[in-house]
Amino acid sequence: MIKRLPGAAAIVAGLVITLTLVPLPIVPATAQTPPTVTDRGVQATFPDRLAFSVSAESDSPIERIRLRYSILPDGTAASGVPDFDPAASVAAKFELQGPGQTTLYLPPGTTIEYHWEVTDADGDESQTDPATFFYNDQRFDWVPLEGDNVTIYYYSGSDSDAQAMLLTAGETLGSISTLLGTVVDFPVKIWLYESVEDMRPALQRRSETYEQSVITAGTRVASDTVLVLGTASFDTLRHELAHVVTAVAGESAFGTMPAWLDEGTAVYGQDDAGGFENAIDRAVDRGNVLSVRSITSYPGDPDKVDLFYGEAWSLVNYLNDTYGPEKFAQLFAEIKGGKRIDAALEAAYGFDQDGLEDEWRAELGLPPRETPQPTQPPQPSRTDEAASTPVPRESSDSGTSAGVVIGLALGTLALAGAIGVLGWGLARRYR
């Protein structure tokens, strides 16, 4: 017997049968293809041009390109965005040095680690593998000579002179590191230039007056790089490498060394203090030495430059001869930890700069320092604070760093006649 279903139930049954017999279509997911990015290398013409190139392709227009880079060994991460017109296929270039970028100083031997990042209109991203570029002074055919954690680069002079400089470099880094209780844990590069004309383009550019007035015999241009004039300038090399070590031992985001301690240690690292020792001996004989507080920063008077270096050396010599290297290393550690010079001296020796000067003057047979009494109560002001607690003068840096100039080491020195008086002596650090 056939039993009839109610009308609504019959319709539902028909639908069920239809759905089971007709399969639903399957729509495949759309695959997203990330951009293809190609590092096109670096074009360099020292010291005027350094450009990074890239190309990219994608199914949708390329909208963003960024170069990410850091200047080793201690440069912070930075980035640059090149100009380009969005398209499915693009080529772009970013200049770190060139007509549009004149403020960034990159010394010879700069090592740059970099990679490119690209994003298209769909939001898909790609990047290149990390790469490094060694920025060389291509004007000369450099010969590298490698030692323990140090490399000498030279293009003139004898191989024996270069070997002797390499030996001196290793000995200096070792002895000053031991003195300051620290370790230089990165490779150091030393570039030996034959003449002033050869080395000048490798230095940070100054005013025309400065360029005509200053002879630079040696400079620490980066935390790991030193330039030296002459292939057998041993004491210049010792001086500049001492600055490499003092920076490791005493500089940080929290502390900065006073000028007399930094430069005094660099002269202390030389085999012979030379004219600097003569300058302090003459000042002692005449009784016209400088106050210790006045040489916490570099002097602005060219007539006092030799005395500044001689007195700085004498103070460092006194601290080491009287109290030994252990306390001297502690002084650097206290500064690196964030203490200013007076507090660091108190922690290491139990006296501040005035106490140091009192002891040092007594050791040399000088009368006590003058301590004039104010005729009226001093009014607090920024000028008074600056006069009583001088700080090292800051200098420009590309974002990591700075160097040392030996010759007439102050930007304010414009008299060419002062060069003969100062010799190679002044060494001013860029921080």
CATH code (residue 77)? 2.60.40.10
Examine the domain organization and report whether 84 and 158 are in the same domain: no
Is 48 contained in some domain? yes
**Structure-token match 């007399």, residue found:** 260
Is 19 contained in some domain? no
Examine the domain organization and report whether 314 and 407 are in the same domain: yes
Residue 161: half-sphere exposure toward Cβ, Cα within 13 Å: 16
Examine the domain organization and report whether 288 and 423 are in the same domain: yes
pLDDT at 151: 98
DSSP 101: B
Examine the domain organization and report whether 52 and 184 are in the same domain: no
Examine the domain organization and report whether 180 and 66 are in the same domain: no
Rounded-to-integer distance, Cα 351 and Cα 113, Å: 45
- CA dihedral defined by 401, 406, 408, 409, rounded to 10 degrees? 20
Any idea what the Cα angle at residue 71 is, between residues 66 and 74, rounded to 5°?
130
Is 26 contained in some domain? no
- Asked whether 223 and 155 are in contact (CB, 8 A), the reply is no
Q: What is the CATH number of the domain that holds 300?
A: 1.10.390
pLDDT at 320: 98
Nearest to 428 by CA among 416, 414, 411, 417: 411
Examine the domain organization and report whether 217 and 361 are in the same domain: yes
Rounded-to-integer distance, Cα 177 and Cα 329, Å: 9
Is 29 contained in some domain? no
- Asked whether 86 and 63 are in contact (CB, 8 A), the reply is yes
Nearest to 406 by CA among 229, 279, 281: 229
pLDDT mean by block of 10 residues, the chain; 431 residues: 48 45 54 90 94 97 97 88 97 90 85 97 96 96 96 97 98 98 96 96 81 82 96 96 98 92 98 95 96 94 92 98 98 97 98 98 94 50 28 30 38 37 38 36
- Asked whether 88 and 133 are in contact (CB, 8 A), the reply is no
pLDDT at 426: 40
- Secondary element (H or E) of residue 383: helix 382-388
Examine the domain organization and report whether 82 and 44 are in the same domain: yes
**Positive or negative CA dihedral for 350, 260, 369, 279?**
positive
Structure tokens that stand for 313 in this block:
């050396």
- CA dihedral defined by 136, 142, 144, 150, rounded to 10 degrees? -50
Strands 49-72 and 36-45, sheet pairing: antiparallel
Is 57 contained in some domain? yes
pLDDT at 400: 30
Is 12 contained in some domain? no
Examine the domain organization and report whether 230 and 267 are in the same domain: yes
Which amino acid appears at position 186 of this protein? F
Strands 188-193 and 150-154, sheet pairing: parallel
Residue 277: half-sphere exposure toward Cβ, Cα within 13 Å: 8
**Structure-token match 């009226």, residue found:** 376
Cis bond leading into 367, ω under 30°?
A: no
Domain finish residue from 135, 168, 190: 135
Examine the domain organization and report whether 201 and 294 are in the same domain: yes
Is 4 contained in some domain? no
Domain finish residue from 135, 153, 183: 135
**Structure-token match 């922690």, residue found:** 347
Is 14 contained in some domain? no
Total structural domains within the chain: 2
Any idea what the Cα angle at residue 75 is, between residues 35 and 177, rounded to 5°?
145
**Positive or negative CA dihedral for 249, 251, 254, 256?**
positive
pLDDT at 370: 83
Rounded-to-integer distance, Cα 166 and Cα 244, Å: 15
Examine the domain organization and report whether 286 and 394 are in the same domain: yes
Domain finish residue from 101, 135, 169: 135
Examine the domain organization and report whether 268 and 361 are in the same domain: yes
Rounded-to-integer distance, Cα 262 and Cα 283, Å: 21
The 3-state secondary structure of 267-326, one letter per residue: HHCCCCCCHHHHHHHHHHHHCCCCCCHHHCCCCCCHHHHHHHHHHHHHHHHHHHHHHCHH
Cis bond leading into 73, ω under 30°?
A: yes
Residue numbers of the domain that contains 113? 36-135
Rounded-to-integer distance, Cα 264 and Cα 78, Å: 35
Rounded-to-integer distance, Cα 328 and Cα 402, Å: 24
Examine the domain organization and report whether 88 and 209 are in the same domain: no
Structure tokens that stand for 268 in this block:
């202390």
Strands 49-72 and 87-97, sheet pairing: antiparallel
DSSP 182: -
Cβ neighbors of 63 (< 8 A, separation 6 or more) are: 86, 119, 120, 121
